[in-house]
Amino acid sequence: MNVDTLIVGLGIVGLNYAEQLRKNNIDFVVIAPEEQSASHIAAGIVNPTVLKRFNAVWNAEIFLNCALPVYNNLEVLLGTKILYRLPIHRIFNSTQEQNEWGIAASSAALEKFLNKEWISNNRQLEINAPYGFGAVKQSARVDTQRLLTDYRTKIILDRIVSEKINHQDLGVEDGSITYKDIKAKKVVFCQGYSSVVNPYFNYLPLIGSKGEMLIIECEALSEQVIYKGPIFLSPMGNYKYWVGATFDRTDKSTKTSINGREWLISKLNQFLKLPYTILEQRAEIRATVQDRRPLLGVHPKHKNMFIFNGVGTRGVLMSPLLSQWLFEFIENNKKLPASVNINRFENKYFRN
Ligand SMILES: Cc1cc2nc3c(=O)[nH]c(=O)nc-3n(C[C@H](O)[C@H](O)[C@H](O)COP(=O)(O)OP(=O)(O)OC[C@H]3O[C@@H](n4cnc5c(N)ncnc54)[C@H](O)[C@@H]3O)c2cc1C
């Protein structure tokens, strides 16, 4: 099979890049096993703000302005609901936080995203929030599990090979990339944290941060709000809620742990007053980078090999615009912003 582009990996990053190619009528094949990845277990929260410190995310507005229409269009393409426009209610811990919120919400960087007036807690039987909430206005949840499953089975069924590649089986020449019976002009690796075993790009400083989460069932809790206390509590429909997450930079296994579970329960119990049942616990590794910026660009030696990675904790928000930047770079020779271009690491890390 001859194609223009081979995409390796179908998390939220691979999906967004596949969308660029599909919309631009460029022939491609995706190779990705059916296994779950960080994207599948993510809360899918699109949040332009940092709610710990009341900051805006880097490039928040342009990422958000691109992401929401992209997921809206995917919803239409799939004929399935995946985008839920829900406010995030940040639980205040003190009157000082109420004041800090008011100041942040009046700043130029945040006035579009935060409601100035804070909300008093009229759900006292459900949620412990004596100091009330601040509301994030332009937030949403993307059902990444449904999006990834439906995209695979409805949109690219004839262009997906469900297996994990062994990097040694890739044939790499200047003009082509081969893998089994596939011949492509170029390859774009979208492997998330697994990129650490990719011999072509393992020189990049991908750190990885393990995240554990729970799915709980809780009747009588509002399904119209994403709560942010010490952790997120986000509605998934049918009385199910996503609870998380832990951050662990040392353990790189995807095994769930008793410590993780107990930590999540203790944080949840600080603000959820209703009884609940734990249905599931999951763990995956986020692709986080030393300098907290994405990893996009071309291999220093192999000019038909590209990487799209390092989206950290904001893959759902950032991947749509990043995929446009990478597409323009690969197909139209446009420059990548220096802060995301992997050439920022070449001198320091590339040892060939
Ligand atoms: C608990 C948790 C909660 C999160 N919550 C949010 C959130 O609310 N909002 C948000 O924006 N982000 C969130 N994130 C972060 C988000 O999940 C990541 O930013 C995003 O999923 C990274 O996507 P990715 O496609 O780069 O990687 P992944 O999702 O890891 O996908 C990698 C893909 O590559 C494939 N692959 C790897 N190696 C090979 C190989 N050799 N051959 C073929 N295929 C291969 C995998 O099978 C997979 O398909 C969360 C993460 C975790 C762990």
**HEC per residue, 137-199:** CCCEEECHHHHHHHHHHHHCHHHEECCCCCHHHEEECCCCEEECCEEEEEEEECCHHHHHHCC
Which atom from ligand 1 is nearest to the alpha carbon of 45?
Answer: 8
Tell me, using a 6 A CB cutoff, whether residue 323 lines ligand 1.
no
What values do phi and psi take at 310, rounded to 5? 70, 35
| Whole-number percent of the chain with pLDDT over 90 | 94
Tell me, using a 6 A CB cutoff, whether residue 213 lines ligand 1.
yes
Which atom from ligand 1 is nearest to the alpha carbon of 244?
Answer: 1
Distance of CA 114 to CAs 104, 231, 235, 255, Å?
Answer: 8, 19, 20, 36
The mean per-residue pLDDT over the stretch 321-342 comes to 98
Tell me, using a 6 A CB cutoff, whether residue 160 lines ligand 1.
no
pLDDT at 350 over 60: no
pLDDT at 124: 87
pLDDT at 351 over 70: no
Distance of CA 173 to CAs 8, 185, 297, Å?
Answer: 17, 9, 18
- Give the residue, out of 57, 142, 194, 215, with the most ligand 1 atoms within 8 A of its beta carbon, to mutate for a pocket test: 194
pLDDT at 335 over 80: yes
Tell me, using a 6 A CB cutoff, whether residue 314 lines ligand 1.
yes
pLDDT at 123: 86
Tell me, using a 6 A CB cutoff, whether residue 12 lines ligand 1.
yes
pLDDT 10s digits, 191-248: 999 999 999 999 999 999 999 999 999 998 989 999 999 999 999 999 999 999 999 9
pLDDT at 91: 97
Rounded distance, CA 37 to CA 208, Å?
Answer: 13
pLDDT 10s digits, 89-141: 999 999 999 999 999 999 999 999 999 998 999 888 899 999 999 999 999 99
The mean per-residue pLDDT over the stretch 313-340 comes to 98
pLDDT at 342: 97
Nearest residue to 349 (alpha-carbon basis) of 289, 285, 286: 289
Q: Which domains does the chain have, with CATH numbers?
A: 2-41+145-206+290-349 (3.50.50.60), 45-142+207-286 (3.30.9.10)
Residue 218 Cα to ligand 1 middle (Å): 27
pLDDT 10s digits, 7-28: 999 999 999 999 999 999 999 9
Which atom from ligand 1 is nearest to the alpha carbon of 163?
Answer: 43
Rounded distance, CA 221 to CA 169, Å?
Answer: 51
Q: By alpha-carbon position, which residue is closest to atom 21 of ligand 1?
A: 39
pLDDT at 175: 86
Quote the tokens at residue 319. Answer: 């991947």
pLDDT at 347: 62
| Mean model confidence pLDDT for the chain | 95
Q: By alpha-carbon position, which residue is closest to atom 37 of ligand 1?
A: 191
Which residue matches tokens 């342009």? 62
pLDDT at 348 over 70: no
pLDDT at 174: 78
Which atom from ligand 1 is nearest to the alpha carbon of 198?
Answer: 41
pLDDT at 349: 53
Tell me, using a 6 A CB cutoff, whether residue 296 lines ligand 1.
no
Distance of CA 189 to CAs 31, 200, 256, Å?
Answer: 10, 10, 27
pLDDT at 52 over 90: no
Residue 121 Cα to ligand 1 middle (Å): 35
Distance of CA 135 to CAs 48, 88, 183, 215, 336, Å?
Answer: 12, 6, 50, 23, 34
The mean per-residue pLDDT over the stretch 157-165 comes to 97
Tell me, using a 6 A CB cutoff, whether residue 191 lines ligand 1.
yes
CA 320-326-328 angle, 5° bins: 105
Q: How confident is the model at residue 53 (pLDDT cuts 50, 70, 90)?
A: confident
pLDDT at 144: 98
Residues 6+ apart with CB under 8 A from 24: 327, 331
Tell me, using a 6 A CB cutoff, whether residue 42 lines ligand 1.
yes
Tell me, using a 6 A CB cutoff, whether residue 188 lines ligand 1.
no
Residue 182 Cα to ligand 1 middle (Å): 25
pLDDT at 346: 79
pLDDT at 73: 98
pLDDT at 125: 87
pLDDT 10s digits, 263-277: 999 999 999 999 999
pLDDT at 173: 87
